[in-house]
Amino acid sequence: MNQRVRTVATCLLAAGLLMAYAAPLAGMVERWNGGPMYSYAYIVPPIALYLLWCRREELRRQPSRPARIAGGIVLGGALTMLVLGQIAALQVVQQVSFVIALAGIVLFLFGMAHFWICAPALAYLLFMVPLWDVFTEPLHWPFQNNSAKLGVALLHVVGIPAYREGTIIALPGVTLEVARQCSGVNYLVAVLALALPLSVLRLQGWGHRVVLVTTATAIAALANGLRVALIGALAHLQIGSPLHGPGHVLHGLFVAGVAYVALFVGLQILEAREQPARMTDHSPDVAPSSHPMWTARAATGLAVVFWIVALLGTRTMAVPVALATPLDRLPLQLGTWTIEPLSTADDSQADWNGADSRILRRYRSTDGRTAFVGIWYFESQRQNHEIVNANGSALHRSAVPRTISIGNGATLTANIVHGDHDIGIFWYELDGVPEASQHAAKLRSLWTALTSRRSNGAVIMLRSPRMGQSEAETLRSLDDLAGRVHVALARQWRGAQHTTAGTKQPDA
């Protein structure tokens, strides 16, 4: 009977945890499927479970001493992160919260000793959370540059003439570019995700573990230069189709393969060095603990907490806010800029398809300049329905902040982005307050949601073709239009009211 009650309590706890974190977990899997950066993440949960399974005897022998206070504090912090992440539509915060919640459950039910035994597996779960872009983003350019340098050096060794300028490699009859996607950083993370658990499971000395992880990652970085040289040689000799198709993918897998071979060879060498010490290690056996592992009552209590969070969520925190006047009331005349009648605006740069309303227009100034104006308005932000998203974040990689004077001593800080044939300016407005930084926009969304129950915001994007003009001239015209759009939107923002439900506004 006790076993049946414990089983039911376990199922209720697991179901409540998964229900409370359903949205962030689904978003996590979506990111895994969305690109090569996190394609390795599918193996992270099984490896974490294997890490626990390998330490099952330690867990079985360790008496259970629940740390209710410490576990409660950790769980409280995790649930606070979950709620705040939902309010501000910060999915990565919710996903990190899931791992912290697991740590809190271990502390609450089993105690500190069990937590330290489980700590490597719990920490390893962070590899499945798509947060590593923040750390890898600065690495792409140096990795691209170094791969190009090494690739050209290897081509010279085999007698193939090559000239490098930055990440561009010129060969007789063909020019190659080491693109951002080919920097090798993605493979570096994947190799690191495998090297860490192997070092914990198979090696005992921390020095050897550091050597293994460092060596494997260094070889993975160097292997990308070898890949560049291989592609350059095949392209020069006109063998196969090295620049596109399945062959190009196989060349990419070559990088990971070299690193994995180095990883396992290094592991065998380091294990052999540790073998004599292992043979002389006679640790005393510890009898299994007869102390009950955990109580069904404690697990059921946690299950109730997670079910309450799952059922209530934060649906009442932020109320949709409609603009005082619809977006399609944006003036047709903005200073010297006039809308082009029956124009078809280019929305190829629109990455905010979840907006409640939008306008896409093309304006022309009296001196003949044209500009695309796109505005996406969100009455309230929620998951997969926010102004700062993964697609929009791509714009920030190459964005440069710019301060724009809008008259009367006021300024507007926006972001400049350079396209192949045009220049753009974009910024966010949260409840009428402009922000250029995506992080500042997220924090302001959270603040207004907590203090005013408002998370409404907009994204404004202006683009203008160069048309033979200098960059300075194009930016001056965009500055003028940006200031006028901001002032016009401020009038529409005044008097915006809470609504009981989002009201769709027509596109214009």
pLDDT digits (tens, 9 = 90+) for 4-54: 777 888 888 888 899 999 989 998 998 888 777 788 888 889 988 988 888
pLDDT digits (tens, 9 = 90+) for 368-379: 888 999 999 988
Q: State pLDDT tens for residues 177-213.
A: 887 777 777 777 778 888 888 887 778 778 888 888 8
* Bridge partners (DSSP) listed for residue 424: 417, 463
* Three-state secondary-structure class, residue 125: helix
d(CA 270, CA 249): 32
pLDDT at 448 over 60: yes
Q: SS3 of 244, please?
A: coil
Element (H, E) at 310: helix 296-312
- Asked if residue 1 has pLDDT above 50, the reply is no
Using a pLDDT cut of 90, give the percent of the chain over it.
Answer: 14
Query: Is 224 within 8 Å of 190 (Cβ atoms)?
Result: no
Helix (H) or strand (E) holding 46: helix 44-54
Gap between the Cα atoms of 192 and 52, Å rounded:
19
Highest mean pLDDT among 97-111, 127-141, 292-306: 97-111
The residue written with tokens 């809470």 in the block is: 498
* Cα(125)–Cα(24) distance, integer angstroms: 14
Report how far Cα 87 is from the mean position of its chain's Cα atoms. Answer: 18
